[in-house]
Structure 1
Amino acid sequence: MPSDPTPIDEDVDPARPLRADAARNRERIVAAASELFATRGLGVGLNEVAHHAGLGVGTVYRRFPDKRSLIGAALAGPLREMTEVAEQARRAPRAWDGLMMLIERGAELLTRNLGLRDAALSSDETRHDLDEHLHPFSDISCTLMERAREEGDLRPGATEDDLGMILWMVTELAAHAMDTRPDAYRRYLRILTDGLRNAPDRGPLEPALSPTEVRAIAQHWAAH
């Protein structure tokens, strides 16, 4: 929290409409956070957001009591996009086509917004806070995988956690290739997703990761 005392602000009450200047400040804060989170991820601090918005950090704290509430506001639009993508994928006549749409469009959204990537692929409190917005994407991916398995298109042994790992890998590549070849991740996404498709000559997959192993890997990856 900021060291300077927070002045009395009649707009703090969330049930009361914000004054015009307070509403403008809130918009500036959300816009600044959206830009910084998208380009640098969720490691950006509130002081940096305040500076980018051209406001004092006390103003940021009056509008958002903690960073988690600001993350929710800044990622509201991108999370809606993810839900829309998932709904479009769900309506695909063939589950495999819907699954590929989900993965390809999802990877595009995550590479375009590092903050969204951090939220969607992490396993910390931020992910927990946004679970209600991420559930549609996760639930629909599970449904599509089940349908693709029943239709004979999905390789036996493939799991939803495999999708998460694929997205981790290609978005990590995208982050490092952004200045050299921004679309490089697409090549490797195709190679990796081709490995999910069932084929007569495919051998059995190695044992799947357990949920505990997935969380441990995600936490270690996010920390580095």
Structure 2
Amino acid sequence: MTDVKLRRDAARNRARLLEAGREVFAQQGLDATLNDVAHHAGVGVGTAYRRFANKEDLIDAIRVQQDNELEAILNESLAMDDPWNALVLYLEKSIALHVRDRGMTELLTGRRVRPEMHDRSRNRLAPLVNRVAERARDAGAMRADATGTDLIFIQIACISISTVVQGSPDIEERSDSRDLYRRYLRVMLNGLSPQHGDTAPLRVQALMTEQLHDLLRSETSLPYD
């Protein structure tokens, strides 16, 4: 019975640390320490290090949770009948998820994530992102020279806009400044749509999936602490 209780306590503490880690990293970014997370979770530092050997392990566990959420959004999109609405839903929901979470933003751009974890996420999510793009392109809803990697760069662009706005003083007389990225998401969506945008050939080719992966993965050498 004691062993069962210890296992339950361990599982409960791990769950508390995961939840606290997401909240702390969302607010402070990945420069926050495992000690910060332990304090926020209301557990001792020793307990934190028994559940996670280091901050790297905690970040990896959080990344798995985030990948689960992104995969759910992608599957929801792929289940929709209209390929264009599916693409819009994917971008809107995935960007909103990142905008709320500073730590998740740093992970998306390949920073502060172990290369093997970045590879696993890519192998899991990239085929689904490409499928969202392919469906829209095949249906004629998205310009013929747009690709799945373009969708990732649209995400990065909108998240960067949000980061700039959130890192600055409040814009006078603007209560909607945190949503400013949505304006530019619509501009970019119009550029993707043959019905709304200029369909003249793009002057620079899109990156291939592997090229984008290598580009983002190159940032993974940054230290955690």
TM-score (normalised: structure 1): 0.77
Q: What is aligned with 1:74?
A: 62
Deviations 1:191-214 (A, max 9, x none): 112111124852110222545477
Name which of 135, 141, 144 aligns with 2:129: 141
CA apart distance, 1:63: 0.7
Are 1:59 and 2:47 matched, yes or no?
Answer: yes
Cα gap change, 1:114 to 1:134, in 2 (>3 Å): farther
1:94-136 Cα offsets, whole Å, 9 max, x none, are 2122111111111111111222222233176446426555655
Correspondence for 2:92 among 104, 117, 127: 104
**1:88 equivalent in alignment to 2:76:** yes
Correspondent of 1:194 among 183, 190, 195: 190
2:204 corresponding residue in structure 1: 207
- Name the CA distance, whole Å, in 1 between partners of 2:194 and 2:51: 51
Aligned-residue CA RMSD (Å): 3.2
Amino acid at match of 2:150: D
- The equivalent residue for 1:7 is none
Write the deviation string for residues 53-103 of structure 1: whole angstroms up to 9, x where unpaired. 344433211111232331243345443322221111101212122111111
1:123–1:215: 8 Å Cα contact kept in structure 2? no
Q: In 2 relative to 1, CA 204–123 (structure 1 residues): closer, same or farther, beyond 3 Å?
A: farther
C-alpha displacement at 1:182, in angstroms? 1.3
User: 1:88 & 1:150 partners in 2: Cα distance?
Assistant: 19
C-alpha separation in 1, matches of 2:51 and 2:87: 39
Change beyond 3 A, Cα 1:143–1:74: closer
Pairs aligned (count): 210
* Contact 1:95–1:147 under 8 Å retained in 2: yes
Q: Which runs of 5+ in 1 are unaligned?
A: 1-9
Q: 1:129 aligns with which of 117, 122, 126?
A: 117
Counterpart residue number, 2:14? 26
Match of 2:205, SS state, is: coil
Q: 1:94 to 1:119 in 2, by over 3 A?
A: same
Change (3 A) 1:42 1:182: same
- Is the contact made by 1:39 and 1:114 (CA closer than 8 Å) also made in structure 2? yes
- The letter of the residue matching 1:94 is D
Partner of 1:47 in structure 2?
35
Between 69-78 and 208-217, report the one with greater CA deviation: 208-217
Aligned counterpart for 1:157 among listed residues 133, 142, 145:
145
Which residue identity does 2:135 align to in structure 1?
R
SS at match of 1:182: helix
Question: In 2, distance between residues paired with 1:107 and 1:177?
Answer: 15
Unaligned runs of 5+ in 2: 171-176
Q: Does residue 1:177 correspond to 2:165, yes or no?
A: yes
State TM-score, norm by structure 2: 0.76
Deviates more, 1:182-191 or 1:26-35: 26-35
Task: Tell me the distance in 2 between the aligned counterparts of 1:105 and 1:135.
Answer: 21
